[in-house]
Amino acid sequence: MTVEELLTELKKCPDVKRPAWNETLPKPTRTRPNKIKIVGKTVTIKWNSAGVRPDMGDWRWDEQEIRIAPDLQKGLECETVLHEVIEAIKCHLRLKLPHDTLQTLSTILWQVLTENPKLTDYIFRNK
Ligand SMILES: [Zn+2]
């Protein structure tokens, strides 16, 4: 992890104040969730967010908000959402999870979920 990445990570943590962002956000599409629950808290997902740092998405503790960059390919957008959800879980539970490990976890979890439809059927639709 570089110093820049470390500073980015620190800014995502609850005890560090986040900078204000200037942005104009288009309306989300119908198929994208605007509110989700993470560790019992409501988290807003803002789609098509300008100024997301790093490039694809970010998690903002102060606003309890996940922001997703515009114009991502569908799969990349979904993987980014999963990544940011794990970032939010990490912050809420104060997990000591280095960013490179989190990145690997989110990418592989996405791969397992997308390449194993019978598994996702079993987990999510077998009630
Ligand atoms: Zn991240």
Q: How far is the CA of 60 from the centre of ligand 1 (A)?
A: 11
Q: How far is the CA of 8 from the centre of ligand 1 (A)?
A: 9
Which sequence spans correspond to the domains of the chain? 26-114
Query: Contact at 8 Å (CB) between 44 and 68?
Result: no
Mean pLDDT across the stretch 44-70?
88
Q: How far is the CA of 127 from the centre of ligand 1 (A)?
A: 32
pLDDT category of residue 77 using cuts at 50, 70 and 90: confident
Angle value at C-alpha 69, between 30 and 31, nearest 5 degrees: 15
- Strand ranges for the chain from DSSP E: 35-38, 41-46, 57-60, 65-68
Burial class (CB in 10 A: 0-12, 13-18, 19+), 2: exposed
Q: How far is the CA of 62 from the centre of ligand 1 (A)?
A: 16
Does residue 48 have a pLDDT over 50? Answer: yes
Write out the H or E segment, with its range, that includes residue 20: none
Q: How far is the CA of 92 from the centre of ligand 1 (A)?
A: 14
Does residue 42 have a pLDDT over 60? Answer: yes
Best CA proximity match to 60, nearest among 93, 30, 19, 101: 19
User: CATH for 26-114, among 1.10.10, 3.40.50, 3.10.450, 1.10.3470?
Assistant: 1.10.10
